[in-house]
Amino acid sequence: MIYSLLVLSSPVSGHTAQTAAAFAHAVLARGHSIKRVFFFDDGTYNGSSQAIFPQDETDRLQPWLDLSQQHSVELILCISSAIRRGLLDDTEAQRYDKSGSGIHSAFTVSGLGQLVDATAHSDRLVTFGG
């Protein structure tokens, strides 16, 4: 079965984003595949390269990086949601004359068409947050 995920929650607002990452890892461990993870609204904060978590907390970025690096899962940040939250890739930083990227390189900034495409090419779209 092919899954796609829609993540709407930030990494610091409860455990929803962590649950989404754990779900993705469990899906892959069971032999299924993931077409794409799309981060929308506050979910785009999951792609921040600037977030630092205290030593006694779980690193909330690493599970997403593992998905990208170990399983080649696409991690897409909604461009309009990201820009509104000050999360820019190098291209958008240049466009808006800002100092640099605040997005981890494992994440790609793109439009809602990526969510539509993921839905069209997946058996299930699972949403986390609201």
Positions marked active-site: 78
CA angle at 86 for the pair 84 and 91, rounded to the nearest 5°: 100
Rounded Cα distance, 40 and 76, in Å: 9
DSSP code of residue 61: S
33-39 sheet: strands from edge to edge:
107-110, 74-78, 33-39, 2-7, 124-128
Number of residues assigned to the chain: 130
